[in-house]
Amino acid sequence: MREEVKGTFASVFGKQDGLRFFFAPGRVNIIGEHTDYNGGHVFPCALTIGTFAAVSQRKDRLVRMFSENFKETGVKEFKLDDLCYNKDDDWANYPKGVIFEFQQRGYAIPNGFDIAFSGNIPNGAGLSSSASIELLMAVVLQTYFHPELNALHLVKMAQHAENTFIGVNCGIMDQFAIGMGKKGHAMLLNCDTLSYEYSKLDVSGLSLVIANTNKKRSLAGSSYNARRQECQEALRDLKTELEIASLGELSPSDFDSYAHLIQNETNRRRAKHAVYENDRTIKTAEMFKKNKLDEIGSLMKESHLSLKNDYEVTSPELDELAYAAWSHEGVIGSRMTGAGFGGCTISIVKDQAVEDFIEKAGAAYKERTGIKADFYVADIGEGARELKGD
């Protein structure tokens, strides 16, 4: 990929000395969905697939960007002193938003650059290609101009850029997983306090298999923001009697005792998901430590069903992939991953069953939906960084 992005750079901007190379991964969440913006826990990991960039500094204040993944949109060009969201800039708004965020916070960007991007995260699959390009941009700016900023700071800035510049009110999970990823580890992150612990996924004999529905997510942004709003309304109702700052502070039994305070039935189901999912996430991380695979499988299934019935963010395609996985004997657990509304499932599969699982689940899915799913055996990698040496 590094050679490829170097080639892309040369063909678009011409050969240049002193190119530097950067990488930011995609992420997959094992469990803890729609809990991050509710002050709960998440359990994601960074992948070895991601976004690559070749970067060269310019002497003026122009920024030029090109993405091999969106060739047809051409070179995007803008000035550092005139950064605003522009629909025509399409994908380039994500890195542009991060540059803007740096400037807004008073971190000067003295000169522009030329950047070629190339990524191998399937777009719109819920594996965070957008947070990946955001963190990549943040690491580029940190490396050249602001080495004093630590990774967590970059994570927060990238999330804020997505909230304000792009207008998607996402939580911190994606940027955190991508900025802080560690090879072979998932992270149990408390999204309220941002305390976290790495958890070695010591799952010898097991593989993480990502299955892409190949059904593009629709209305993801607006429905996502609507879910967030519904949870806030539920919290507001609960606060009439409870002193809590977020749904993440409630245990399932607390929730059951006070759920009647939530006036709207839909909001009650949304909040129930957030509270119970948080509990499942903490338990899943615990079960990984104890290697209790059956429990992990049940928790993943409950998670998917809750996202389907109470949070209503699965899709018929995600459900079909989950059903196909649950009925395969080599599968420990399976659920949708990411925001939902389409995208991917994640399954924990016995190594020797992976091939058969892909064949059978792929065939069942094709038969039920008419769509061909793609399967990837995930490799858990490091967070966003400059690529040095070879």
Chain position carrying tokens 């991601």: 50
Residue appearing with tokens 């976004």:
51
In this chain, which of 39, 179, 338, 383 binds ligand GLA, going by CB under 6 A? Answer: 338
Residue 246: CA atoms inside 13 Å, Cβ hemisphere, count?
17
The reply on whether position 36 binds ligand GLA by CB under 6 A is yes
Q: Which is nearer to ligand GLA, 115 or 177 (CB)?
A: 177
Instruction: Kindly report the backbone phi and psi dihedral angles of residue 27, in degrees, each rounded to the nearest multiple of 5, phi listed first.
Output: -140, 155
Compose the 141-180 pattern: x for residues touching ligand GLA by CB under 6 A, - for all others: -----------------------------xx-xx------
- Give the binding range for ligand GLA (CB under 6 A) out of 1-9, 30-38, 90-98, 177-185: 30-38
User: Catalytic residue among 60, 81, 90, 174, which?
Assistant: 174
- 174 catalytic, yes or no? yes
Question: Residue 162, annotated ligand binder?
Answer: yes
- Binding residue count for ligand GLA, defined by CB under 6 A: 10
| Binding of residue 40 to ligand GLA (CB under 6 A) | no
Sole binder of ligand GLA in the list 12, 34, 119, 268 (CB under 6 A): 34
Q: How far apart are CA 147 and CA 78, in angstroms?
A: 24
Residues in the chain: 390
Question: Would the annotation count 128 as a binding residue?
Answer: yes
Burial class (CB within 10 angstroms; exposed 0-12, middle 13-18, buried 19+) of 388: exposed
Nearest to 302 by CA among 280, 328, 326, 329: 280
Q: Which stretch binds ligand GLA (CB under 6 A): 29-37, 80-88, 240-248, 362-370?
A: 29-37
Measure the CA–CA gap between 247 and 235, rounded to whole angstroms.
Answer: 6
Are 151 and 179 in contact by the 8 Å Cβ rule? The answer is: yes
Query: Taking the alpha carbons of 339, 342, 343, 344 in that order, is the dihedral positive or negative?
Result: positive
Active site (catalytic) residues = 174
Task: State the residues that interact with ligand GLA by CB under 6 A.
Answer: 33-34, 36-37, 170-171, 173-174, 338-339
Q: Which residues are part of a known binding site?
A: 33-36, 67, 124-130, 162, 224
